[in-house]
Amino acid sequence: MECLNPQGASDVVLLCEHASNHIPAEYGGLGLTPQDLTRHIAWDPGAADVTRLLSQHLDATAFLGTFSRLLIDLNRPLGSAGSIVTRSEATDIPGNVDLSPEEIARRVGNIFTPYHDAVSACLDARQGRPTRLVSIHSFTPVFLGVARTWEGGILFGEAAAFGETLVSRLRTDGLRVGANVPYKTDRNEDYAVPVHGDDRGIPAVLVEIRNDLIDTAESVRAWAQLLAAALQG
């Protein structure tokens, strides 16, 4: 887990659960090719870069994951089908098949728990202080052969006013951005928004950016600036 700007003055706390595609050598790449590990199945390309710049623009604290989502997904409830996947999109993950309870507990203890304990401690320390939670993700232009025309999405559960405001502000910049696209938040399939946000009464959204739109330094800067402007109103 990596924490940026822990003393940030902004009311926004940033999360980037899928920031890294790192898999320790002992796991042998989970049986995948190096090329597979550059794909969305292993992380959210571009999301970490946007988060880092957005943290600077807003003077916001940010928490970034430092391991591949294939080891254990920081934005999935423990024990859910998406927590430790044996197949992602159309790719089998051999190194996750028939894991022992001990190995699952090891990944929970080494990766999942430290990240969420750090986020929880930060939010606990901010009690009484205005706080909004924003989780940064990216999605693929094509999913299982189906093209996605959305350029971005703002996903939310109980924070509809916050989410719809961000959608409206981003649309004024001519972007094709929608509410709860290309996914919807679901307590059975998501963690950050329902647990760290809705359960605490903190306005929380998940930002999805199509990853072909944040694949250069220039486009990352552009999206970070757009999001900063939208969050600052």
Which string of DSSP letters, residue by residue, matches 91-103?
EE-GGGTT--HHH
Residues 6+ apart with CB under 8 A from 49: 214, 217, 220
Confidence of residue 71 (pLDDT cuts 50, 70, 90): very high
H-type helices in the chain, by residue range?
47-58, 101-107, 113-125, 160-171, 217-232
Domain boundaries, the chain: 2-232
pLDDT per position as a tens digit, 166-220: 999 999 878 999 999 998 888 999 999 999 999 999 999 999 999 999 999 999 9
Short-list 81, 83, 84, 43, CA closest to 64: 43
Comparison of pLDDT for 183 and 69, the residue scoring more: 69
Residue keyed to tokens 């929608």? 178
Alpha-carbon radius of gyration of the chain: 17
CA angle at residue 137 from 136 to 138, to 5 degrees?
Answer: 140
pLDDT of residue 233: 78
Q: Distance between the two ends of the chain, CA-based, in angstroms?
A: 30
Q: CB of 159 within 8 A of CB of 166?
A: no
Confidence of residue 98 (pLDDT cuts 50, 70, 90): very high
Residues 6+ apart with CB under 8 A from 128: none
pLDDT per position as a tens digit, 15-57: 999 999 999 999 999 999 999 999 999 999 999 999 999 999 9
pLDDT of residue 147: 78
Mean pLDDT over each residue of the chain, to the nearest integer = 96
Task: Please give the Cα distance from 64 to 136 (Å, whole number).
Answer: 10
Q: What is the pTM of this model?
A: 0.97
Domain over 2-232 is classified CATH 1.10.10.10? no
